[in-house]
Structure 1
Amino acid sequence: MTTESPHFGSTHDGDHPDRVDEWAAMRQKHLRAAADRPTSSARGVHHQALISSNVERTIDFYQGLLEFPLTELFENRDYEGSTHFFFDIGNSNALAFFDFPGLELEEYAEVLGGHHHLAISVSPDNWDRLRRKLEAAGVEMFVVGGSSLYCAGPDGERIELISDPLGEMDGMAVL
């Protein structure tokens, strides 16, 4: 089911001031040409960690529907009885989850500085196939520009499947 959602980028919510001049000034002040940028101190994303309320349901969604292989599952070193499990999302990157039995965690609430969504690059062929699988499973989603598919995971976590290559967005290099 493909729909539009105000939670994923509707342009009709809130105040939308013209910020073109502000962005140009920030680019001028902070953005360096690729040849002038220093090398990053980071090697890459080791893993993005999210919280799962149900390990089996999370595995069914990420491994079963999205085809991200489960690569490891063990007890969380920080919380006794908690499961820490990982999925391969390509390019030596992992998506990890914890469950926290007994903590009675509340539902997600968007806050400043909080997680908005995780964008995962997939090939155009995989993007089309995964869109069809999600649709067949009745997962609500919406598509932007024919290259970004937004949906929610089993606990409401926001996922974007994007068919743009790594380091690009809408044909523009971002890395």
Structure 2
Amino acid sequence: MGPRNREFELGGVNHIALVCRDMARTVAFYRDVMGMPLTKTLDIPGGGQHFFFDIGNGDSLAFFWFAHAPEAQPGVSAAAAMPGTGDIVSAHGSMNHLSFNVPLERFEEYHRTLAAKGVDVSRIVDHDDSPSTIAKELHPGVFIRSFYFQGPDGELLEFAAWTRALNEADVNVDPVDATGTRVPLVTDQAVTGQAVTDQALTGEAVTGARR
């Protein structure tokens, strides 16, 4: 069994909500091209709309339409380009890209299918632990396969397939703070150990108070 959430019983993503410029165009892409069932449609106060699409596993992708929403700002609200074709930086708090999990055995088939539907898809990218994080060819060290494309409003989308189960050895990079300085990573095991220690100390304190 892998790491688990000790605080909340989460069952994955309920829905992710994006903002579109044209809801009819959004339906045409996500339902008619991507094949996602449209499961809920709402007119909301203020003249807006809120539509939901089924993306499998009980999860949903939702879109708002607002009459007076600001125009899209590539490179700010979302990545300006697909990986491998340009800058993928986006602003703090933005949704850089949305990745859909697909079966490994159908991954390359799906790449061909979207291209045949007229979608501009990136080349297949195999991710590994090399300095570039991109493998020159498929090998046992590749942990996920990806390709990218964009939705009607420039939202960056991805189809991804895991090639193996992740393990403790995959958590080996210290995070950086706002200045780019690395901060030693506290492992889940250390956090669990500290929680056990805290619980023991609390128990001792309670026992001592009762004496």
Question: TM above 0.5, one fold?
Answer: yes
Which has the larger Rg? 2
Task: Report matched runs for 1:21-60 at 5 Å.
Answer: 34=2, 38=6, 40-60=8-28
Deviations 1:129-150 (A, max 9, x none): 4323321233222121273121
Q: 2: CA distance between counterparts of 1:36 and 1:62?
A: 32
Q: Match for residue 158 of structure 1?
A: 156
Identity of aligned residues (%): 33
Q: 2: CA distance between counterparts of 1:40 and 1:67?
A: 32
Q: Match for residue 144 of structure 1?
A: 125
Pick aligned residue for 2:97 from 117, 130, 137: 117
Gaps of 5+ in 2: 77-89, 127-137, 139-144, 168-211
Q: 1: CA distance between counterparts of 2:158 and 2:147?
A: 5
8 Å CA contact retained: 1:66, 1:130: no
Q: Which amino acid aligns with 2:112?
A: R
Q: 1: CA distance between counterparts of 2:70 and 2:61?
A: 23
Q: 2: CA distance between counterparts of 1:36 and 1:129?
A: 33
Q: Over the residues paired in the alignment, what is the CA RMSD in angstroms?
A: 2.6
The change in CA–CA distance for 1:60 and 1:38 in structure 2 (over 3 A counts) is same
Q: Match for residue 62 of structure 2?
A: 96
Per-residue deviation, 1:85: 0.2
Tell me the secondary structure at the aligned position of residue 115 of structure 2.
Answer: helix
Which protein has greater RCO, CA pairs closer than 8 Å, 6+ apart? 1
Q: Which amino acid aligns with 1:159?
A: L
8 Å CA contact retained: 1:65, 1:133: no
Gaps of 5+ in 1: 1-32, 165-169
Tell me the secondary structure at the aligned position of residue 61 of structure 2.
Answer: strand
